[in-house]
Amino acid sequence: MAVSASSKVMNNVETVRETLYEAMKNDDRTVILGEDVGDRGNVFLITKDFVKEFGPERVIDTPIAEASIVGIAVGMAMEGLRPIAEIQFADFIYPAFNQIVGEAAKTRYRSNGEYTCPLVIRTPYGGGVRGALSHSVSIEALFYHVPGLKIVAPAFPADVKGLLNAAIDDPDPVLFLEHKKTYRLIKGEVPGGHYTIPLGKADVKKAGTQLTVVSYGLYVHWALEAANQLETEGISVEVVDLRSIRPMDRGTILESVRKTRKLLIVHEDNKFGGVGAEISAMVAEEALFDLDAPIRRHCAPDVPAMGYALPLEEEYMSSPGEMAEAMREMARF
């Protein structure tokens, strides 16, 4: 990848904004559509003033109708544009489920390759912001079962830029998940210039020898905090950031597990039927006899939603301390 020598420190939300701006500037086919993306500039001000520069034909304020947002974007993509459709919060994506699963994800297959659907669907997800039932959901498992759809959940600013560029360039639909708690919490060095990070490639954020922890999104940061604490206790933990949830980087996971011989999977979504279940099954099928302990999943409880009251939110979500204790138990096994 060609990367400029210049770089700067940005948080995640600034990185999303700058990457979208560069995409709009560099390719007239790129359009952004969604609720309040125009005059208001998005509820997080990600597209603030975009409409002044690029005009209302490329920065399109839509009605509150998620099925229409994605459905229109699918048609744009099939006709040669590069639409970036925003669902204001992941909790509102359900009306668009058929458009994403029944239309976008199947476009290449059902047309025998005659049509593709170069569509990015961006949406903020996740808890920890006192968002309660309607602004805290993790939706990845609902779409994880769908061939033809890629799912990306970066945790660090440099990854946000590289993966968002790759998603925009991809000829098929990508669901791009942005954890809202990381928007302003997480800062990092972001290379200048246009670069991409391949979709489907995980990254080892911390090397270790006694335990592999696989995570994504906000929980990568909590897992790193816990792993650094355990380092002071003489326990060496390797932290793998999936970055791309689907396609999943089987090679990186298996290489790490075969080295450490233990696996803990940490994610914010519900435990039952979650991403961790697929990782567990894959490792059990391909590396069972390399393991020294049962695979463990440290995930959200199987309740319908995250409560608004702080104790309910804290009970639903994990913490670095809770992750550290789960890691200690695995290391002692």
Q: Where are the domains of the chain?
A: 9-192, 203-332
Euclidean distance between CA atoms 36 and 310, whole angstroms: 29
Low-confidence ranges of the chain (pLDDT < 50): 1-3
Euclidean distance between CA atoms 67 and 170, whole angstroms: 22
Nearest CA to 236 out of 253, 261, 202, 272 is that of 261
DSSP string, 89-145: SGGG-GGGHHIIIIIGGGHHHHTTTS-----EEEEEE--SSS-GGGS----HHHHHT
**Is-contact 268 139, C-beta < 8 A?**
no
Predicted pLDDT of residue 1: 44
User: Judging by beta carbons within 10 Å of its beta carbon (0-12, 13-18, 19+), is residue 57 exposed, middle or buried?
Assistant: exposed
Predicted pLDDT of residue 238: 98
Q: In this structure, are strands 211-215 and 263-270 parallel, antiparallel, or unpaired?
A: parallel
Instruction: Tell me whether the CATH fold assigned to 9-192 matches the one assigned to 203-332.
Output: yes
Please, which residues bridge with residue 179 across strands?
Answer: 125
Q: Which CATH number fits domain 203-332: 3.40.50.20, 3.30.70.360, 3.90.180.10, 3.40.50.920?
A: 3.40.50.920
CATH fold, domain 9-192, is Rossmann fold (3.40.50)
> Which residue blocks in the chain are alpha helix, DSSP H?
12-26, 50-54, 66-78, 97-98, 107-110, 140-144, 157-169, 182-185, 218-231, 250-260, 275-287, 310-316, 320-332
194 noted as active-site residue? no
For residue 101, what are its two tokens? 């699963």
Predicted pLDDT of residue 275: 97
Nearest CA to 301 out of 280, 285, 317, 287 is that of 317
Half-sphere exposure in the Cβ direction for 131 (13 Å, CA): 19
Predicted pLDDT of residue 5: 57
**Is-contact 239 210, C-beta < 8 A?**
no
Predicted pLDDT of residue 73: 98
- For the chain, the 3-state helix, strand and coil shares in percent, each to the nearest 5, are 40, 20, 35
Catalytic residue among 135, 179, 221, 267: 135
Angle at which helix 12-26 crosses helix 157-169, to 10 degrees, equals 30
Question: Residue 293 carries which side chain, given as an amino acid letter?
Answer: A
Predicted pLDDT of residue 260: 98
